[in-house]
Amino acid sequence: MKKIVLSLFLFLAAFFFLAPATVAQTLKVGITSKTLFYLPYYLAQKKGLYAAENLKVELILIGRSDVQLQALIAGELHFASMNPDGIIVINEKGGNLKVIAGTDNAAPYILVGGKTYKRLEDLKGAKLGVSSLRGGGTSILLDFLKSKGLQHPRDFAMVVVTGGTSARLTALESGAIAGAVLGIPYSDIAIDQGFNRLGDTLEVIPVYQFNALNANPAWTEKNRSTVVRFLKAHIRSLRWIYEHPDQAAEFFTSEMGVKPPYARRGVDYFTKNKIFPIDGAVTLEGLKLNIEVQARDGVLKEPLPPPEKYVDLSYLKQAQKELGL
């Protein structure tokens, strides 16, 4: 009897310890720039939060939202983290993409002018750097300047600068543009270098679904468990930033090269103003503004659709439930 038990024990030991480990599933996530806006993804990757869900996540830098959208439709990306304005445009043309979670639920932008541009009025006739000609940060810029009496194209021109906030800061430093909206803390860096603070867009637009996690239902509906596991890691990353701001700032410095004083200022600003949704939530109120912006751009017509048209929160709710939220 003892020999049988011993043999069974050895068999089970061999099964559990010698059996090959389950291969982690690879996911590809598109992001626009390696900046504070995307800190939760890099943190989840480097801190092993994706690995804890048996996922291997590749973060792919794609500076243009239109390219991200096409990659998402073609199945070359599993998720695209970008402004949902493009999702609205695609869906109104017959497509079917969905916002499934939030990443940045406001647009913390500071309008920064070159060293000779000290007032908003000085921007008349100048070139302003933007990431695209419509949507996202560009819509924020246009709305802000319109509220101050400046309109495009009457009062200023726009130049597309690919690569996000850091690229616009470089263009500003080189003199290629007269001004641009810069995300925090890059705006602080520019101002400390002698550039001029011309306005805070949050004064005019406090709520906006600036950056969301977007997906293609053609893939997500067949891979619900994978999507939920990814979102659980996403939520854990967001919560980790709020619970460990010191370490988050240190990670921001080591991963993205932003010096400590600015890194901490950025993390504090994002958490204080709840830019990062601690539970991964989508701001439907903010998405409503995205829709209004698209109406002003002529993409949508009255009556405007509800924000729920472009959202599928079922995966997020399941992830929140499994995390006990």
Share of the chain above pLDDT 70, in %: 93
Does residue 138 form part of some domain? yes
Higher per-residue confidence, 4 vs 93: 93
Say whether both 97 and 224 belong to one domain.
yes
Higher per-residue confidence, 250 vs 166: 250
pLDDT exceeds 50 at position 221: yes
pLDDT band, very low/low/confident/very high, at 103 (cuts 50, 70, 90) = very high
Of 192, 73, 92, 75, the C-alpha closest to 135 is 92
pTM of the model: 0.84
Say whether both 261 and 238 belong to one domain.
yes
Amino acid 298 reads G
pLDDT digits (tens, 9 = 90+) for 253-266: 999 999 999 999 99
Of 240, 212, 173, the C-alpha closest to 315 is 212
Token output for 54? 């048996």
pLDDT exceeds 80 at position 297: no
> Which domain does 114 fall in, by range?
109-203
pLDDT exceeds 90 at position 29: yes
Does residue 44 form part of some domain? yes
Of 163, 178, 68, the C-alpha closest to 114 is 178
Say whether both 216 and 72 belong to one domain.
yes
Say whether both 305 and 239 belong to one domain.
yes
3-class secondary structure, 182 = strand
Say whether both 96 and 134 belong to one domain.
no
pLDDT, position 207? 84
Say whether both 220 and 292 belong to one domain.
yes
Q: In whole angstroms, give the CA distance from residue 293 to residue 305.
A: 13
Higher per-residue confidence, 50 vs 295: 50
pLDDT band, very low/low/confident/very high, at 107 (cuts 50, 70, 90) = confident
pLDDT, position 121? 95
Say whether both 92 and 169 belong to one domain.
no
Half-sphere exposure of 57 (CA within 13 A, CB side): 31
Say whether both 213 and 306 belong to one domain.
yes
pLDDT band, very low/low/confident/very high, at 218 (cuts 50, 70, 90) = very high
Share of the chain above pLDDT 90, in %: 73
Token output for 59? 């973060």
pLDDT exceeds 60 at position 2: no
Amino acid 211 reads N
Residues 6+ apart with CB under 8 A from 259: 253
pLDDT exceeds 90 at position 137: no
- Average pLDDT across the chain, whole number: 90
Average pLDDT over residues 73-88: 95
**Neighbouring-strand partners of residue 61:** 31
CATH at residue 133: 3.40.190.10
User: In the chain, how many domains are there?
Assistant: 2
Say whether both 184 and 230 belong to one domain.
no
Say whether both 144 and 93 belong to one domain.
no
Does residue 232 form part of some domain? yes
pLDDT exceeds 70 at position 19: no
pLDDT exceeds 70 at position 162: yes
pLDDT digits (tens, 9 = 90+) for 171-214: 999 999 999 999 889 899 999 999 999 999 888 888 889 999 99
Q: In whole angstroms, give the CA distance from residue 311 to residue 291.
A: 12
3-class secondary structure, 163 = coil
Higher per-residue confidence, 14 vs 231: 231
pLDDT, position 5? 44
pLDDT, position 143? 85
Of 68, 35, 63, 38, the C-alpha closest to 166 is 35
Q: In whole angstroms, give the CA distance from residue 78 to residue 161.
A: 26
pLDDT band, very low/low/confident/very high, at 164 (cuts 50, 70, 90) = confident
